[in-house]
Amino acid sequence: MIIISPMEKVTLNDKTFRKFIPYEKLETAIDEVAAQINKDFEGCTDVPILLCVLNGSIMFMAELMKRLTFNCQIVSTKLTSYVGTETTGKVKQAMGLTADITGRRVIVVEDIVDSGNTIVELKRILAEKGAADSRICTLLLKPDSYKKDVKIDYTAMEIPNDFIVGFGLDYDELGRNFKDIYILDE
């Protein structure tokens, strides 16, 4: 059940969330991160792969790729580690890569990096599958949670270590469709 009130709060199942990052601020952050990627890939003659990490990255991926000025190919994968508002700490590959990435440059497009477990697993998978290079691009980074050694190459925004929904992020598969990002209202 989803309830939207005039106070810009949303209720998903048993939790209420308040607006945290408006869409306009997300657009600006995506413009900036796309500019960084375009600079790094300017004049490339190969066709890099944008790896969409399903399901959360769909909205970010769509917005990001509209801003890229070089040819690229889209590939998807799906990894899971959350139940409700908590990470299980174990990453499961729910769907493998949708194309061969052998010898290709890959830009991983993530919605959020918090514990970093998914990023570590993705880097392992990409190396195992023969990627020539892999870079990590995330819409959101929780620096207080991220303690891994894997470099995050492109970060659109840093946020505190709170549970959020919207713009692709979910709470038990609800809330992904909101264009703004909402934070748990406790």
Predicted local distance difference test score (pLDDT) of residue 152? 98
In the three-class reduction of DSSP (H, G, I as helix; E, B as strand; rest coil), residue 118 is classed as helix
What contacts 60, CB < 8 A, 6 or more positions away? 30, 109, 110, 111, 139, 156, 167, 168
- Sheet-wide strand order for 164-165: 2-4, 9-12, 15-21, 181-184, 164-165
Question: Which CATH topology does 23-184 take?
Answer: Rossmann fold (3.40.50)
- Rounded distance, CA 62 to CA 110, Å? 12
Phi, psi of 31 (to 5 degrees): -55, -45
Q: Select from 157, 179, 177, 166 the least CA-distant residue to 17.
A: 166
pLDDT string in tens for the chain (186-residue length): 454 444 589 999 999 999 999 999 999 999 999 999 999 999 999 999 999 999 999 999 999 999 999 999 999 999 887 565 566 667 888 788 999 999 999 999 999 999 999 999 999 999 999 999 999 999 999 999 999 999 999 999 999 999 999 999 999 999 999 999 999 997
Predicted local distance difference test score (pLDDT) of residue 4? 47
The whole-model pTM stands at 0.91
Q: Select from 80, 112, 115 the least CA-distant residue to 95.
A: 80
CB neighbours of residue 110 within 10 Å: 25
Phi-psi region of 166 (alpha: psi -120 to 50; beta: other; left: phi over 0): left
User: Catalytic site residue 114?
Assistant: yes
Q: Catalytic one among 114, 149, 170, 180?
A: 114
Q: Tell me, what DSSP letter sits at residue 159?
A: -
DSSP string, 65-110: HHH--S--EEEEEEEEEEETTEEEEEEEEEE--SS--TT-EEEEEE
- Rounded distance, CA 91 to CA 62, Å? 24
Residue with tokens 């748990």: 184
Domain coordinates of the chain in residue numbers?
A: 23-184
